[in-house]
Chain A
Amino acid sequence: MKSLAELQALRDSMKGKIGVRDDAEGNTRVVIGMATCGIAAGARPVLAAFTEEVSKRNLQNVTIAQTGCIGICQYEPVVEVFEPGKEKVTYVKMTPEMAVKVVNEHLVNGNIVTEYTIGAKTK
């Protein structure tokens, strides 16, 4: 059973390594569309899969965020990855399984999963 005492312990373990700030430079931002269109298309489990996988791999300097509708509802769930100094990558029609792959290949290994990107899906 999770208790708030466990949250205290988690806080103490994280305080040592705080480059974990939301706005820290060098953070990679993963942004998921969470408007009606995104939610209905399955954005919530996609976001959950990102937090779960990033947490499981204990990746630092990754921030997960939500945004509203960006106007391409037919491609939801849409996930945008912003890496400092790089061009934004837009993944479309995401699933939790695809999210796990994006964490492992893109965020960990630095290889964009080209077949999931909007460029590949609109060809």
Chain B
Amino acid sequence: MEELSLNILDIAQNSVRAGAGRVDISVTERPADDRLIITIADDGCGMTPEQVAHVEDPFYTTRTTRKVGLGVPFFKMAALMTGGDFSICSQVGKGTEVKAVFGLTHIDRMPLGNMADTMCILMGCNEQINFSFTYQVGEEIFSVSTAQLQEILDGVPLNSPQVMEFIREYIKENMDLLSGGAS
């Protein structure tokens, strides 16, 4: 994977499969202490301490369609190779929070990439889940949520291709405004 936004899309799929009703994704750029922090938190089924211990192992997966689970190991590696940090907190029945910390300007930090595409797919294809996305650069914040969009849409499905296109453009333009187009 060449973009952190692809890792986020991938990790968020675990929340979808965990039966989450709410998934909060945040991307925070802190130029002051040169950190980029990504969190993905859900209220899904959670994991036992044994599962949490295993989840960073590439040869551990709960799925039956194949024998490896690379999502979490990829994300962890991406963070650690920038002098960052990686943690998973989970409780059965409560949910899971994945947090990755990156060196913002570290040479090995992958670009955030197309976060608008990632959120557009997550929101459009999982209408039953309330996704929130918060993007913060220094003191400036942009945020959007499924609930907020659904209130305006008033029954028009989020997954209509026309609506998904709107979501993508809306997020992209607002993020560009904060980052000066350089994510």
CB within 8 Å of B: which residues of A? Answer: 1-4, 6-8, 10-11, 14-15, 18, 20-22, 34-37, 39-40, 44-45, 47-48, 50-52, 54-55, 58-59, 62-66, 68-71, 73
A86 to chain B, nearest CB (A): 21
Count of interface residues, chain B, beta-carbon cutoff 8 Å: 43
Q: Does B71 contact A (CB under 8 A)?
A: yes
Residues of B at the A interface (CB closer than 8 Å) are: 1, 6, 9-10, 13, 17, 63, 65-66, 69-71, 74, 114, 117-118, 120-121, 124-127, 148-149, 152-157, 159-166, 168-170, 173-174
- 7 A-B pairs with C-beta separation under 8 A: A2-B169, A7-B153, A15-B154, A22-B157, A34-B121, A39-B10, A64-B164
Q: Is the CB of A47 within 8 A of B170?
A: no
| Contact among B69, B157, B161 with A51 in the assembled complex (CB-CB below 8 Å) | B161
Known contacts A36-B69, A39-B10, A64-B124, A11 near B159 by CB under 8 Å: no
Chain B residues whose C-beta falls within 8 Å of the C-beta of A44 in the assembled complex: 6, 9, 114, 117-118, 121
Kindly provide the distance from the CB of B24 to the nearest chain A CB, expressed in whole angstroms.
Answer: 20
